[in-house]
Chain A
Amino acid sequence: MRQLVQMFAAVFIVAFGLMYATSLLNSSQGYSGGNTLTIYNWGDYIDPDLLAEFEEESGVKVIYQTFDSNEAMMTKIEQGGTTFDISVPSEYAISKMKEENLLLPIDHSKLPNLKHIDERFMNLSFDPDNEYSVPYFWGTVGIVYNPDLLEGEAPTSWNDLWDPSLRNNILLVDGAREVIGFGLNSLRYSLNDTNEDHLQEAKRKLDALTPNVKAIVGDEIKMLLANEEAAVGVVWSGDASEIMTENEKLDYVVPEEGSNLWFDNMVIPKTARNIEGAYAFMNFMLEPEHAARNAEYVGYSTPNKEALALLPEDISGDTRFYPSPELTEKLEVYDNLGKKMLAHYNELFLEFKMHRK
């Protein structure tokens, strides 16, 4: 009996000891209550120097945590537990989080630097009047290719992917909306199409692509393409710019049929504690000089038009990442299709993956 009590006591002592140690550690590093700001962002998606500068300027201690998918991020915010003050979801995730009341409205009067954002990227369908979100980066989905490994011409359209010369030479990113989306785009349908016949047609068309597909992978796609594991890859523009820094032979193209235009916007999740800090941080990142440095570091396209003017000509004039207005018109933002339709897209994607050569 005594042994049992001792056992329980030991467990409690260890547990409380750990809790105490954690709080001691946190306070010794300045991580306590009001003067910390917890940022929940995609991995490698900010210039770390800017974080340090922000800490110095504002006196706020930044805790930087990362996620690798919108879904994982939403799940974590839904559960509560951790107090995230800022997060950077993509557009469809923002409308979903809005529906589920996971976001706090944003007071524009506290963000004087919001005026630097290009009109084109404000007041979009996923967040009318930018009531809940502020643009951070935007980009496209397109084709990265390696001219050295190509037998035919460089691809300019989605339909070029079906060329027999690309047999077993294409890598696809593991995203249902991206892959079904370009299937729909190649048939000149909208990538938000919910018409069952169109979706089945796109699925059949994608099945015909199977002999050309070498693999469907996640983040590894960057490493694999840079290592010349395949001639062609379907990726997000940001990944493309990273791949092209790794291996300069590669090039990127936004297919002529049109493609996806995506946004990652800053939001204040309902778990936020340090709301003043969150505004200060957003305003700091909207400052043209900071936004320009961040865009140069991350390689994605900045929605900040003053920042764009500050960027060197070889970045801001690059039509691959800042496409011409004619092409931009053909780009579509993902609509929030609702859970049921999204599940259907995923089901079709799963069937496509299972289709054997």
Chain B
Amino acid sequence: MVTKARNLYLIPYAMWIALFVIAPIVLIVYYSFFDVNGAFTFDNYAKFFTPVYLRMTFNSFWYALLITFFSLLVAYPTAYLLTRTKHKQLWLLLIILPSWINLLLKAYAFIGLFGTYGLTNAVLETLGIGTQQILFTDFSFVFVSVYIFIPFMVLPIYNALEELNPTLVYASRDLGASWWTTFRRVVFPLTLDGVKSGAQAVFIPALSLFMITRLIAGNRVITLGTAIEQHFLVTQDWGMGATIAVFLIIAMALIMLVTGNRR
């Protein structure tokens, strides 16, 4: 009787998974076998392996990698400092707060900040460096993306650091390890799981970024996400869009496998 009731509780969950996870994936795979005119074809897959799309895939991975790397570079020390502060929850809230603001609004704010007559250039001008082109460059694209993804990197690392038993650090120091050795041999290995889930939470969405590629990078950076958007909304070549999505899903599954915890 008890197991029966438990199985009943599983129904909403199973339905949710079936409707909102499995069905969409099946549909994507299904659509990827049709061309613009609705005829069955494998051409979309052949097309994916042409230089244009392979270079786009390479670009996507390269930028996602850069974004993840810089997010980690900023997020780890931040998370570490957070665990040392007095009002941890308040500081944490302040870091998460920007992620409550609509992405589009943030992107528009950066257009204003990075523009030729924006605040950043005004500061550069007063410093005597002179006006630089910031908007529509690789730099601005990576910078804004890192800014957007940082909370997703900070949180898991913060949690991992919180769980770290401080006595291990004391022991390491007592036994004569330098600060750097302690970090490298004790703290970092023990928080590696947090780093991994942070990297997942940043790398995977970064792979399929769009919108920012247009607003901040002025379409000078073309990722797979941009191509999907264009195929679905402009070309209405749903087949090709779906095919790219299939490769993204495969890529994401592989990343999960590689960075996942083997326990």
- Please list the residues of chain A having a beta carbon within 8 angstroms of any beta carbon in chain B: 1, 4, 7, 69, 71-72, 168, 171, 174, 176, 214-218, 220, 223-224, 227-229, 339-340, 342-343, 346-347, 350-351, 353-354, 356
Contact = CB atoms under 8 A, between A and B. Distances in A.
A229 B235 contact: no
A71 B5 CA distance: 48
B129 interface: no
A148 B179 CA distance: 58
Given A168-B133, A215-B219, A215-B220, A339 B116 contact: no
A71 B133 contact: no
Given A1-B8, A220-B111, A229-B116, 16 more contacts: A4-B9, A71-B233, A72-B233, A168-B133, A217-B215, A217-B219, A218-B214, A339-B237, A340-B37, A343-B237, A343-B240, A346-B231, A347-B52, A353-B220, A354-B52, A354-B59
Contacts of B111: 220, 223-224
B56 to A, nearest CB: 7
B117 interface: yes
B25 interface: no
A298 to B, nearest CB: 24
For the complex of A and B, the 7 pairs showing the least CB-CB separation, nearest first, are: A215-B218, A216-B219, A215-B136, A346-B235, A339-B36, A343-B235, A343-B237
B55 A229 contact: no
A216 B52 contact: no
Contacts of B235: 339, 342-343, 346
B36 A176 contact: no
Interface string B1-27: 000010011001000000000000000
Contacts of B59: 354
Interface in B203-246: 214-215, 217-220, 222, 227, 230-231, 233-237, 240
Interface string B124-153: 000000000101100000000000000000
Contacts of A229: 115-117, 135
A193 to B, nearest CB: 18
Contacts of B237: 339, 343, 346
Contacts of B8: 1, 4
A350 B9 contact: no
Contact of B222 (A7, A215, A347, A354): A354
A174 B219 contact: yes
A353 B117 contact: no
Contact of A346 (B37, B115, B234): B234
Given A218-B214, A220-B111, A227-B115, A346 B230 contact: yes
17 contacts: A1-B5, A69-B233, A71-B234, A72-B233, A174-B214, A215-B135, A215-B218, A223-B111, A227-B115, A227-B116, A227-B117, A339-B36, A343-B235, A350-B52, A350-B230, A353-B220, A354-B222
B135 A354 contact: no
A333 B19 CA distance: 44
A139 B229 CA distance: 27
Given A229-B135, A339-B37, A216 B55 contact: no
Nearest to A172: B219
A353 B116 contact: no
A119 to B, nearest CB: 33
